[in-house]
Chains A and B, each alone.
Chain A
Amino acid sequence: MSLLFAGRRQAAAHRAAVPSGRLRWLHRSLVGWGFAGPATALVVGLSIFPAAWALLISLQKWNGIAPAKPIGLLNYQLMLEDPDLFAAVRHTVVFTVLFVPASIFLGMLVAVALNRPIKLVGFYRTCIFIPFVASAAATGILASFVFNPQYGAANSVLRALGLPQQQFLESQSQALPVICLIALWGQVGFTVVVYLAALQDIPKDVVEAARMDGANRWQVFRHVTLPALGPVTVFTSIWQTITALQLFDLVFTTTRGGPLGATQTIVYYVYVQAFKLTKFGYGSAVAYGLFAATLLITVGMILYSRRSKIEAF
Chain B
Amino acid sequence: MMRRLPFSPWHLLLMPLALLFALPLVQMVLTAFMPDGDINRFPPRFIPSRLQLDGFIGLFTESQALRWLLNTVVVAAIAVLSQLVLCSMAGYGFARLKFFGKNAGFLMILATIMIPAQLLMIPTYVMFTRLGLIDTLAAAFVPWLASAFGIFLMRQFFLSLPAELEDAARIDGCSTFGVFWRVVLPLARPALATLTVFTLLGSWNDLIWPLVAISDESLYTIQLGLANFQGTRHTQWSLLMAGNVVATMPLIIAFVLAQRQFVATMTFSGLKG
Contact = CB atoms under 8 A, between A and B. Distances in A.
Interface stretch (B50-58, B161-169, B204-212): B204-212
A136 interface: yes
Interface in B192-248: 201, 204-205, 207-208, 211-212, 223-224, 226-227, 230, 234, 237, 240-241, 243-244, 247-248
A143 B42 CA distance: 19
Most buried by A among B13, B24, B89, B123: B123
B273 A313 contact: yes
Contacts of A193: 262-263, 266
A185 B256 CA distance: 18
B8 A118 contact: yes
B42 A151 contact: yes
B75 interface: no
A280 B124 CA distance: 12
A47 B226 contact: no
B180 A35 contact: yes
Nearest to A310: B273
Nearest to B23: A153
B120 A36 contact: no
A117 interface: yes
Nearest to A198: B272
Given A25-B100, A137-B226, A185 B24 contact: yes
Contacts of A280: 122, 126
Most buried by A among B94, B102, B116: B116
Interface in A38-53: 38-40, 42-44, 46-51, 53
B186 interface: no
Given A46-B142, A232-B272, A298-B114, A29 B99 contact: yes
Contact of B93 (A36, A231, A249): A36
B120 A33 contact: no
B200 to A, nearest CB: 9
A123 B259 CA distance: 12
Interface residues of A, number: 97
B101 A42 contact: no
Nearest to B97: A32
A200 to B, nearest CB: 6
A150 B73 CA distance: 36
Interface string B250-273: 011001100100110011000111
A52 B251 CA distance: 35
B223 A128 contact: no
A39 B151 CA distance: 8
Contacts of A270: 118, 121
A29 to B, nearest CB: 4
Interface stretch (A1-9, A69-77, A93-101, A284-292): A284-292
Interface string B117-141: 1111111111101000000000000
A109 B68 CA distance: 39
A48 B104 CA distance: 14
B66 interface: no
B21 A130 contact: yes
A10 to B, nearest CB: 17
A38 B223 CA distance: 29
A116 interface: yes
Contact of A197 (B92, B146, B230, B267): B267
A47 to B, nearest CB: 4
Given A32-B99, A43-B147, A156 B43 contact: yes
Contacts of B117: 246
B263 A197 contact: yes
B39 to A, nearest CB: 6
Contacts of B121: 270-271, 274, 287
Contacts of B115: 47-48, 51, 291
A133 to B, nearest CB: 5
A287 B122 contact: yes
A131 B240 contact: no
Nearest to A160: B43
A58 B14 CA distance: 49
Contact of A120 (B11, B119, B148, B247): B11
B1 interface: yes
Given A39-B90, A50-B124, A131-B21, A267 B204 contact: no
Given A36-B94, A44-B112, 9 more contacts: A32-B98, A36-B99, A145-B241, A151-B43, A253-B230, A267-B208, A290-B119, A291-B116, A294-B114
21 contacts: A29-B101, A31-B97, A31-B99, A40-B105, A46-B124, A54-B119, A54-B122, A64-B129, A110-B17, A118-B10, A129-B255, A130-B25, A138-B28, A138-B248, A142-B28, A156-B43, A200-B267, A270-B121, A275-B125, A280-B122, A313-B273
